[in-house]
């Protein structure tokens, strides 16, 4: 084959790839070339990761991201410092019955770099009327570098005004209720998690590992994420997780 034919073939291939990428973008799909890691994201200090846990918090949404973020200390320096925050220092009980002693109360919580809001039983009703809870989330979330919700934790972030002007998602069967209660939000369906700005919202449940593993890869790189995945027996491959960013 002469050089002219080779050049023509290369142009055709490049054009086809360009149209494919444009089609993905038009369909709202995440276009992930390789990894979201950018060295400019790499933390230079330990990140304080505060988990909001109140009575009737769900085990999966609390434990999955807590495990992932805590394990960063075994794979990178500096890693993350994880702790649980509740309204008071009194023990809380998860929906499934595990008793937890909080590390901090709303009154003595240190600065939070990553605010994590797992789902709890009443996050779609009475918790939204708890002005102390919502104000705490609004204040800490506004100052945090990242905010993350698992499942119906998105309702709390939305009530605090932290999801305005960003794409977001929540538990699949609660999407309709989410749209009804917060019609101004740009709610996305069919994704394990959505990352827009500093907000990472997710569907929760068994997929609660996904947004946490993603944030680890985003901040520390694929090698660290794969290392944590190996320790937790998670076959982590971001390209196989349906997400939007």
Query: Can you tell me the distance from the alpha carbon of 5 to that of 2, in angstroms, rounded to the nearest whole number?
Result: 6
Question: Which pTM was predicted?
Answer: 0.85
Query: Can you tell me the distance from the alpha carbon of 202 to that of 209, in angstroms, rounded to the nearest whole number?
Result: 10
State the distance between the two ends of the chain, measured CA to CA, in whole angstroms: 42
Three-class SS of residue 53? coil
Q: 5 with 11: CB under 8 angstroms?
A: no
Query: Can you tell me the distance from the alpha carbon of 30 to that of 120, in angstroms, rounded to the nearest whole number?
Result: 29
At 169, list the tokens: 């998602």
The model's confidence at residue 2, banded by pLDDT at 50, 70 and 90, is low
Q: 188 with 165: CB under 8 angstroms?
A: no
At 47, list the tokens: 């990140």
Neighbours of 131 (CB within 10 A): 8
Closest CA to 146 of 88, 193, 94, 102: 193
Sequence-ordered list of residues with C-beta below 8 angstroms from that of 217, at least 6 positions apart, any chain: 35, 36, 37, 224, 225, 236, 238
Q: 112 with 51: CB under 8 angstroms?
A: no
Three-class SS of residue 68? helix
Sequence-ordered list of residues with C-beta below 8 angstroms from that of 153, at least 6 positions apart, any chain: 52, 61, 116, 117, 118, 119, 120, 123, 204
pLDDT in tens, 113-129: 999 999 999 999 999 99
pLDDT in tens, 8-66: 444 444 444 444 434 444 444 444 445 788 888 899 899 999 999 999 999 999 999 99
Neighbours of 245 (CB within 10 A): 16
pLDDT in tens, 157-212: 999 999 999 999 999 999 999 999 999 999 999 999 999 999 999 999 999 999 99
């Amino acid at each position: 084959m002469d050089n002219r034919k080779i050049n023509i073939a290369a142009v055709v291939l490049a054009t086809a790839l360009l149209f494919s990428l444009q089609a993905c973008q038009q369909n709202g799909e995440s276009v992930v070339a390789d990894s979201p890691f950018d060295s400019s994201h790499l933390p230079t200090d330990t990140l304080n990761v505060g988990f909001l846990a109140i009575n009737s918090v769900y085990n999966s949404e609390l434990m999955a991201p807590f495990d992932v973020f805590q394990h960063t200390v075994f794979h990178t320096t500096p890693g993350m410092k994880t702790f649980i925050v509740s309204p008071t220092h009194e023990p809380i009980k998860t929906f499934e019955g595990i008793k937890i002693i909080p590390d901090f109360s709303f009154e003595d919580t240190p600065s939070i770099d990553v605010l994590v809001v797992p789902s709890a039983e009443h996050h779609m009703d009475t918790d939204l009327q708890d002005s102390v809870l919502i104000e705490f989330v609004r204040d800490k979330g506004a100052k945090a570098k990242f905010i993350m919700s698992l499942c119906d934790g998105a309702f709390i972030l939305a009530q605090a005004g932290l999801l305005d002007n960003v794409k977001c998602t929540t538990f699949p069967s609660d999407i309709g209720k989410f749209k009804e209660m917060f019609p101004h939000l740009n709610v996305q369906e069919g994704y394990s998690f959505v990352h827009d700005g500093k907000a990472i919202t997710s569907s929760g449940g068994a997929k609660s590992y996904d947004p946490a593993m993603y944030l680890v890869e985003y901040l520390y790189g694929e090698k660290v994420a794969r290392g944590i995945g190996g320790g937790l027996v998670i076959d982590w491959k971001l390209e196989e997780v349906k997400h939007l960013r």
